[in-house]
Amino acid sequence: MIQEKQKQNQKQNQKQSEPRSLAARRMTAVPDEQAASKLFQSLPQELRDQIYSHLFSSTGPSSCGRTYSLWERAVARRSRIRIKPATTHALAVLQTCRRASAEIGDTWIGQILLHFEGPREMLDRLTPLPHSTLSKIRYLCVVADNWREDVHNTYHELSAALKLLPGLRLDALTVLGTRFAPVSYETLTGLIRESYGWKELHYLSHSSEPLGFERLEHINDSEKYRVWRKPQPGYWQSILEERDGAQTKPSVTIYRSTVPKCPGSVMKPKTRTQFEQKISCSKALEAFGTTRDGQLLAAGERSKEFLVIVKRGCGVDYEGKEGPPHTIFEK
């Protein structure tokens, strides 16, 4: 019995001493200079930079990959689009090797794709950032929900949220449309007409309904609140040319999936086709959009995704401009 108690005491003393010895080792540890590392000794800095770039562009903290190969989303039965979150260890390389972290610096900010579930979350995360950091972000993905100001109880579109991020200079802004077709249509039109902060805009809709819904009027039949779709992408192209100048060669291109109910199919060249709504005469133009498009909204056609790629004109100033958000309505 005495021997057993002595053994137990020894084990307890050993367990208590282990954390102290580990802490002591950490305090006296010398950073490993990676003298035997093939990464640092065999590869030049240029190749190491390419490896870092590939790592961040393919494993950023988002499910929306730069090439859309990792893009996954599920449309809920209610009016919300959700995105599968990515691994929380995407930036672990910055914490596992001091030398790699020193070489990478803050260049990762411009290589990963930041994902936000809506404009409110985007503003909560990005508005506290200094201008020097915000201007380095290059890729961003956000769901196009309207957001509310709690103070005034008013709602704003996504284009208004971007006005609160001056200095933003995205290479590509990816926007996932909402379930309500008229809102999705107006959100995209607003982004093309007045938003800044992006060189390219990729707007993704889970269905073809925003291109074929019936004209929607406000309850008071006011022209100001009427949602009346136009032939696309010609109408959006005219807005962009008026904004940037036709000589700068801006472009708006629509791709539509050839496969119904297949998320992500519109991202693949083999399962999409370029889409355009052509009008033959002025009378047809006047009547366009007053009724639903029976062909686009037919069974097996409505559920086909579409993607709108908008490119600002060459040489235009697209940096985010500060300004008050535009209120769309009050509750």
Higher-confidence residue of 194 and 78: namely 194
Treating both helix axes as pointing N-terminal to C-terminal, what angle do 234-244 and 181-194 enclose, rounded to 10 degrees?
20
In this structure, what token pair is assigned to residue 245? 């100048």
Burial class (CB in 10 A: 0-12, 13-18, 19+), 57: middle
Residues 101-151: pLDDT tens digits?
889 999 999 988 888 888 999 999 999 999 999 999 999 999 887 766 554
Residue ranges of the alpha helices (H) in 59-118? 93-96, 98-104
Higher-confidence residue of 22 and 47: namely 47
For position 95, what pLDDT does the model report?
A: 85
Q: Which residues of 291-300 are buried (b: 16+ CB within 10 A; e: fewer)?
A: eebeebbeee
For position 279, what pLDDT does the model report?
A: 87
Burial class (CB in 10 A: 0-12, 13-18, 19+), 162: buried
What is the secondary structure of 41-71 as a DSSP string? Answer: HHS-HHHHHHHHHHHHHHS-SSSS-TTSTT-
CA distance 66 to 141: 10
Residue 5 pLDDT > 50: yes
CA distance 78 to 170: 31
For position 65, what pLDDT does the model report?
A: 38
For position 46, what pLDDT does the model report?
A: 92
Only one residue has tokens 């009050």, namely 330
* Residues contacting residue 70 through CB under 8 Å, at least 6 positions apart: 58, 63, 64, 86
Calculate what percentage of the chain has a pLDDT beyond 70.
72
For position 250, what pLDDT does the model report?
A: 98
For position 299, what pLDDT does the model report?
A: 94
For position 242, what pLDDT does the model report?
A: 98
- Of 132, 259, 155, 263, nearest to 206 by C-alpha is 263
Mean pLDDT of the chain: 81
For position 213, what pLDDT does the model report?
A: 93
The mean pLDDT of 177-191, rounded to a whole number, is: 92
| Residue 161 binned pLDDT confidence (cut-offs 50, 70, 90) | very high
CA distance 115 to 87: 12
Lowest mean pLDDT among 80-89, 201-210, 256-265, 301-310: 80-89
Residue 85 pLDDT > 90: no
DSSP classification of residue 197: S
For position 69, what pLDDT does the model report?
A: 36
Residues 263-283: pLDDT tens digits?
889 999 999 999 999 988 877
Residues 301-323: pLDDT tens digits?
999 999 999 999 999 999 998 77
For position 81, what pLDDT does the model report?
A: 46
Residue 243 pLDDT > 80: yes
The mean pLDDT of 224-234, rounded to a whole number, is: 83
Residue 211 pLDDT > 60: yes
Residue 72 pLDDT > 50: no
Residue 73 pLDDT > 50: no
